[in-house]
Amino acid sequence: MSCEKRNVPLKSLLSMTAAGLALCCGGYDTNDLVTVRTQDTGEALINPGMGLVHYHYSNRLWAYGMYSKPGDTDPLPGTSVVYLRVLWSDLEPKEGEFRWDIFDSVAQNWIKAGKQLAFRVICCNQTVNATPDWVREAGCKGLWFSYPGAKGSHQAEAAKRWEPTYDDPVFLEKLGNFLKAFAARYDGDPSVAFVDVGSLGLYGEGHTGRTAKLSREETERIARLHIDLHKKYLPNTYLVISDDVAGSIRQEADLPFLKFMRERGVGIRDDSLMCSKQSWHHDHWGRLFAPTLPVVLETGHYVTCKLRGNWRKDRILESVEKHQASYFTFHGFPEDFRESHAAEIEAVNRRIGYRLMPKSVSFPKVVKLGEPVRITAEWVNKGVAPFLPGGFASWSLCDEKGNVCWSFTDEKFDLGSLSPTLDKKENPVSVVSKGRFGFTAPIPPWNDQVLADLRNSQGRVMETSFDMLAPGEYDLCVSVGTRQGTPKIALPLAGGNCRRYPVGKVKVVRND
């Protein structure tokens, strides 16, 4: 999170008019009130629980981050998460010996930039064995398979792929040991956005039609085991699983397995946008999860979707809106999208996840120290998903350097209750925040040591009272964050400094 101030002229982005709202501040008539109508800057927001996801590792350690330079944490505008999808065999080549450096070497620059991480560790892959050989050698059952499509000299090599039996006791024991070590590093870490339950099927997406050929019932039974195993070791981490585990093209409105996921607090991700002519199959499932759990979207491999004639960039924004998605992943090299899909990226960034802003703010032009103040704001969520992290509005008086001189937080209204904007219908809510700015504190008449030192040693003149907030003119700033007033959320407003945004000027006077 950057604390650099954006030097955009406030008057060019805010419209001020005299307000006819006597509610705004007790003790002042309507001539003392100002209404500010804000404008959305249109910029991409980096916020927790939402945003674009960059595929750095995609089963292949060279794709799709091979051209990324160290410190490049903005491959596409609005990228908030780096996704690390790797093979278990890469991370634990020998039992109990871990290559966490594969993660750390990428992750540290993203964490430094105030962004987050997401992981999938898979156990079956089409190119090389994803489950470590030592698991098989320890007695885990499984099968050898040949991935269709391998030709010529590659055919024999392709026949060497191995898939574990996913409910084998040895497999579950060894996987549990890995998850325990993984959890020691990442469970509950605020830098982690989500972790996939990716230990079942090809690519971790539940596919066994080309390999073990598990029935739908067997797939769901084993998936429940794997979800519970992940929940055991990662109870404080947001988990998601591919919609394909429940069936790639099933159209039922809801399923017992999907209900099981929601009961466990496990979210859904659609890994296969643009993989077929229909573009996607499960937006209705996404909407089941979106009210309480962030939905993750991912396109199919860009090159494959294009070769099959399925790529529809005109449907990218539609997919976000139909699923009420919080995360979106372009599955390919970012260079392939940066210019050719600039308009689509901009459109997604304006709708993905939540997008909070006060459309208008009414406040007094002049306030007296310690007197009650009311600020009325019309809040709206312009995104497609609820503001699931939740948070509270704070109103601060700041000096010309952006320093907070006084602040109060409205703890009575959680902005997480704002409804998202769907079908082009906004749902604004008028919120009256009550508080006070500063006060005048009395100085006791008796001569204690501190007063004596001030008067005698430093020659200061002491009055009978002290203004806790110096009279003068301040920027009135709005922010969204914790109950303590710490900003956590970027807003699409101009002039922000450490995620506090000026909406107008307030003059503070003594309460004589």
Regarding predicted confidence, which is higher, 246 or 446?
246
pLDDT band at 430 (very low <50, low <70, confident <90, very high): very high
Stretch (H or E) spanning 501: strand 501-509
Number of H helices, E strands in the chain: 12, 22
Predicted TM-score (pTM) of the model is 0.92
String of DSSP letters for 334-382: GGGTTTTTHHHHHHHHTTSS--EEEEEEEEESEEETT-EEEEEEEEEE-
Q: 114-134 pLDDT, tens per residue? A: 999 999 999 999 889 999 999
Q: 14-53 pLDDT, tens per residue? A: 444 443 333 333 344 344 899 999 999 999 999 999 999 9
The number of C-alpha atoms within 13 Å of 27 and in the hemisphere containing its C-beta is 13
- Of 42, 51, 40, whose CA–CA distance to 358 is shortest? 40
Rounded mean pLDDT, 415-433: 98
* Helices 216-233 & 169-186 angle (0-180, nearest 10): 40
- Locate tokens 């920027």: which residue? 475
Q: 355-378 pLDDT, tens per residue? A: 999 999 999 999 999 999 999 999
The fraction of the chain above a pLDDT of 90, given in percent, is 84
Residue 217 pLDDT > 60: yes
Rounded Cα distance, 453 and 228, in Å: 66
Quote the mean pLDDT of the chain. Answer: 91
String of DSSP letters for 174-218: HHHHHHHHHHHHHTT-TTEEEEE---SSBTTTTB-TTTT---HHH
Q: What is the pLDDT of residue 11?
A: 45
Q: 72-93 pLDDT, tens per residue? A: 999 999 999 999 999 999 999 9
Q: What is the pLDDT of residue 124?
A: 97
Q: What is the pLDDT of residue 453?
A: 76
pLDDT band at 465 (very low <50, low <70, confident <90, very high): confident
DSSP state of 428: -
Q: CA–CA distance from 370 to each of 136, 263, 394, 510 (Å)?
A: 72, 48, 17, 9
Rounded Cα distance, 126 and 161, in Å: 7
- Cβ contact 278:310 at 8 Å: no
- Of 474, 472, 480, whose CA–CA distance to 504 is shortest? 474
